[in-house]
Amino acid sequence: MRRGVDYSGMFRYFQQRLEQSHWSHLDSAINIFFAVVLISGIVFFIFTQMANVEPRGAFSRYLFPLFFTTGISYLFWFNDLVFGLPFGWSRYQIVPVLMGAGLAYFLIAGSVTFWQEKSKPIAEGYKRCPKCKAIILKLVVECPECGKKI
């Protein structure tokens, strides 16, 4: 008597559903797109962790939530293709909503932080670089951030 979950049966069922699913050209293209985005995202995050790189600026800080919603979107997309979604949901509705929410969060939260950084009051003895808007010492003739002459 076998105990536990029959994984080989589950795998066979999954394989059967995958073979029976109908993939359009759009589905194949989007599948490749998701795979490339997610794999490069994972590689990027592993690299930044291993290299101990402090992700700089609002862009990197809000990149992870965007990556997370992309991953969830892919799960819905793939699930709809192979098994179908409950409640009559369609991947053409739920994926754009999820991706839109992730992108909106990325853009709004990112620009709020960006604006807050830019509107910070400047301390005595400092000025703002006219080229890149970084806060630099008043005395410098070349911006240490962008390297341009002032």
> Which spans of this chain sit near Zn ion (rule: CB under 5 A)?
129, 131-132, 134, 143, 145-146
Distance of CA 3 to CAs 6, 7, 10, 14, 36, Å? 8, 11, 15, 21, 38
Task: Pick between residue 30 and residue 143 the one whose CB is nearest to Zn ion.
Answer: 143
Contacts of 145 (CB under 8 A, 6+ apart): 129, 132, 134, 136
C-beta of residue 18 within 8 angstroms of C-beta of residue 79: no
Write down the least CB distance from residue 127 to Zn ion, Å.
11
Write down the least CB distance from residue 129 to Zn ion, Å.
3
Task: Pick between residue 109 and residue 134 the one whose CB is nearest to Zn ion.
Answer: 134
Write down the least CB distance from residue 124 to Zn ion, Å.
20
Task: Pick between residue 104 and residue 132 the one whose CB is nearest to Zn ion.
Answer: 132
